[in-house]
Amino acid sequence: NAGVMQNPRHLVRRRGQEARLRCSPMKGHSHVYWYRQLPEEGLKFMVYLQKENIIDESGMPKERFSAEFPKEGPSILRIQQVVRGDSAAYFCASSASTDTQYFGPGTRLTVL
């Protein structure tokens, strides 16, 4: 049973470009969470989604950031018009009906 998959593992973008981060949850998991880890800081919650629904987006920046978890395919975290401050590691986690969250390896975004 494969774990949580994230791709790409490393992403480099220039300021103003768009970044798309993908997360495939563990098999059988319908809950997905996105967290951001800035350099030298702890992980910060961004958004929690179930299939086709955003349940809690209290940690999402109001502008430029969006997330989706379609019926088919991976969850996508989209960052439009990236700025240097978006450089961070973005972690996805998934869970089944229980609360245990399993984390993926992360995507490291670098904005030049």
Partner 1 sequence: KNQVEQSPQSLIILEGKNCTLQCNYTVSPFSNLRWYKQDTGRGPVSLTIMTFSENTKSNGRYTATLDADTKQSSLHITASQLSDSASYICVVQRTGRRALTFGSGTRLQVQP
3-class SS string, 60-105: CCCCCEEEECCCCCCEEEEECCCCHHHCEEEEEEEECCCCCCEECC
Cβ proximity to partner 1: between 64 and 102 the closer is: 102
Footprint of partner 1 (CB under 8 A):
4, 31, 33, 35, 40-45, 48, 55-56, 58-59, 91, 93, 95, 99-106
Least distance in angstroms from the C-beta of 51 to partner 1: 14
Cβ proximity to partner 1: between 86 and 91 the closer is: 91
Which is nearest to 92 in space by CA: 12, 17, 22?
22
Least distance in angstroms from the C-beta of 90 to partner 1: 11
Distance, in Å, from the CA atom of 30 to the CA atom of 48, rounded to the nearest integer, reads: 11
Cβ proximity to partner 1: between 86 and 106 the closer is: 106
Cβ proximity to partner 1: between 50 and 80 the closer is: 50
Least distance in angstroms from the C-beta of 104 to partner 1: 5
Distance, in Å, from the CA atom of 58 to the CA atom of 74, rounded to the nearest integer, reads: 21
Least distance in angstroms from the C-beta of 108 to partner 1: 8
